[in-house]
Amino acid sequence: MPARKIRVELFDSEGNRYTIAFEGQITREKTVRLLDMVELLGGVTNQGANFSSSDSNLNLNVSKYEKVKMITQRNFPIAWFSSKEIQNAFEQEFKEPIGLSTVATYLSRFASKGVLTRSGNSNSLKYKMARVQVEARLEEVKIR
């Protein structure tokens, strides 16, 4: 397998530019570490995708569908996950219940739209952000 490359460029709040490049055997753990470094440097803002459940106005205006999408993008950007894991993350984040069947329906819709990749049989489905979505997220970080 050929060596892979990841390159991320970002700017901090003072306007300093950071370029982080990684080349070699890229694993999930290494990619998560790289994205953690980007977050520490301020490359991921708290606009849009990240919000706290304590912001009640935002909570009232965002549908469960959008909340599930945000949880998926923020908590599982490159890892495989199940509908139960999304349900648990949703209930921890928003302090409100959501049915497992509701989560499964939303994840199925995301997969149909090409946002997620689905694997496994019907009683043990696993999902993952589609490669296009992960690359778009990396480009978004690169732009900032």
CA pair distance 50, 70, nearest whole angstrom:
7
pTM of the predicted protein model: 0.56
Nearest to 13, CA basis, from 46, 50, 52, 48: 46
pLDDT-derived band at 97, boundaries 50, 70, 90: very high
* Residue-level pLDDT at 53: 42
- Over residues 105-111, the mean pLDDT reads 93
Residue with more model confidence, 112 or 59: 112
Partner residues linked to 139 by β-bridges:
none
User: Could you tell me if 27 and 7 are in contact, meaning their C-beta atoms sit under 8 angstroms apart?
Assistant: no
Cβ contacts of residue 103 below 8 Å, gap of 6+? Answer: 68, 83, 84, 86, 87, 90
Q: In which region does residue 99 sit, left (phi positive, over 0), alpha (psi from -120 to 50) or beta (all else)?
A: beta
Name the average pLDDT for the chain.
77
* Residue-level pLDDT at 75: 87
Highest mean pLDDT out of 27-31, 50-54, 79-83: 79-83
**Structural domains for the chain:** 4-44 (no CATH), 56-130 (1.10.10.10)
